[in-house]
Structure 1
């Protein structure tokens, strides 16, 4: 499809405006993390590395980073296992209700976070009688992390077909051997990309976390929310926010690089 020159100019202008609305606020946060002002005045009266030093010396912030890493890694591991098994079961086997199950697997990522959070909170505390803790938080994050892994793996399985797996079975290989030597090597990049996206999704999640974390559990987004309006904490919060943005960008960047490299190879 060819666009006229005015149409291309209009499209470019709209794109520039949208990108500016998204990234200029992030740029302001980045610049303010070096500001000498404690009140986030703009433009900054000067620049300093004091807040970066204080941020990396803050026990509360460091503990929150560690908690976020633990939750993100654990929920990603669960999502990789369950998302892979579900995608193989739905793609490779036909049974009654397969489409309904596929919809139910994808639904958590489409629901508003506050609905998911309230539902899980009621399920843990009222339905199961379980006290909220880091374990309930990991389970809650895994519910939506599974979707990213599932989408990546099932898309790859649809492109691969079953010819190589059928050939492996015809040669006498069992289900586990076929998966280990044939299926898994072809899924590794999809699993890696899905795992990176799941990690990024879990690391900066706040709405579901608010409803499913125990009173003593403080992830990095919760720490930022608690300290945002405290006196003299705003510059440190800006530093942590910049770190959070970087941690969220890197997995998505590498996932896109993997997908791009595969398109070139194919």
Structure 2
């Protein structure tokens, strides 16, 4: 066991405290400014009010942006859960020509800059599909998010499958279980936590996406990140943005808590 001197412990504690302050003090300022009665956020805060919370709750653009983000995130997550899991099983359980190439192509979208993916999909939708009468519209934005969300599920499920022993599945088959029964009662419970964790990561990645959304969102459709980006150019709307950001900060504790629970399940706690 490594033993540190008193001075080293104090220095290390100071560094950790500094890093945590750098990360969380800006979030605290956002929360405090959401209660700032001034129209234009300023520091120090001279008075507190709930007026901006009421304005945010009554704002139709905010509700529409949140609804769009949730709908796109859920759609992209559904695509990622299905395709990411299927590809993970294909690459882990089967040997075929071009296996490594398929692996590379699945992971590539997360490595590409978002602007490249956005431009490529925008050109495909506008120059290839629309001239032949296929208007992807809102669904095209969901597909665009799904292209990089698949990687989240794929990596999580593949890593878990590599650690599973095939002996349990073979025993299930020997006892007369059908392939579906074996998957439902034996295989799926063993990678369930990785499956759920990949879904959470996929939804979070989609909910937060800006660059790809700019190129693929239909005219007049804003997701929450796009709405926030547009409003930040208007100083008079900064207080409402702070309210929305505060709600997102609070809600972010939910997936973090779920991830902690999944990590405990994965470690056998």
TM-score, with structure 2 as normaliser: 0.90
Is residue 90 of structure 1 aligned with residue 94 of structure 2? no
Is residue 29 of structure 1 aligned with residue 30 of structure 2? yes
Counterpart in 1 of 2:64?
63
Is residue 187 of structure 1 aligned with residue 191 of structure 2? yes
**Secondary structure at the counterpart of residue 163 of structure 2:** helix
CA shift in 2, pair 1:54/1:100, >3 Å: same
- The root-mean-square deviation of aligned C-alpha atoms, in Å, is 2.0
Alignment deviations for residues 171-217 of structure 1 (CA, whole Å, 9 cap, x no partner)? 34443332222212222222222212211111121111111111121
Q: Does the CA contact (< 8 Å) of 2:193 and 2:265 recur in 1?
A: no
Equivalent in 224, 243, 246 of residue 242 of structure 1: 246
Counterpart in 2 of 1:51?
52
Equivalent in 170, 180, 189 of residue 166 of structure 1: 170
Equivalent in 199, 209, 226 of residue 205 of structure 1: 209
> Could you list the runs of 5+ residues in structure 1 that have no partner in the other structure?
none
Q: Does the CA contact (< 8 Å) of 1:206 and 1:222 recur in 2?
A: yes
Aligned-pair CA distance for 1:101: 1.7
CA shift in 2, pair 1:264/1:175, >3 Å: closer
Q: 1:161 & 1:116 partners in 2: Cα distance?
A: 37
Counterpart in 2 of 1:128?
129
CA shift in 2, pair 1:95/1:194, >3 Å: same
Q: 2:268 & 2:181 partners in 1: Cα distance?
A: 29
Aligned-pair CA distance for 1:264: 4.1
Is residue 262 of structure 1 aligned with residue 266 of structure 2? yes
CA shift in 2, pair 1:15/1:61, >3 Å: same
Aligned-pair CA distance for 1:86: 0.8
Q: Does the CA contact (< 8 Å) of 1:133 and 1:217 recur in 2?
A: no
Q: Which moved more, 1:95-104 or 1:169-178?
A: 169-178
Q: Does the CA contact (< 8 Å) of 2:118 and 2:216 recur in 1?
A: yes
Q: 1:263 & 1:228 partners in 2: Cα distance?
A: 42
4+ aligned runs moved over 4 Å, structure 1: none
Q: Which moved more, 1:51-60 or 1:194-203?
A: 194-203
Q: 1:259 & 1:50 partners in 2: Cα distance?
A: 40
Aligned-pair CA distance for 1:152: 1.5
Aligned-pair CA distance for 1:8: 4.0
CA shift in 2, pair 1:101/1:256, >3 Å: farther
Q: 1:123 & 1:253 partners in 2: Cα distance?
A: 39
TM-score, with structure 1 as normaliser: 0.91
Aligned residues: 265
Is residue 76 of structure 1 aligned with residue 80 of structure 2? no
Q: 1:36 & 1:16 partners in 2: Cα distance?
A: 31
> Could you list the runs of 5+ residues in structure 2 that have no partner in the other structure?
none
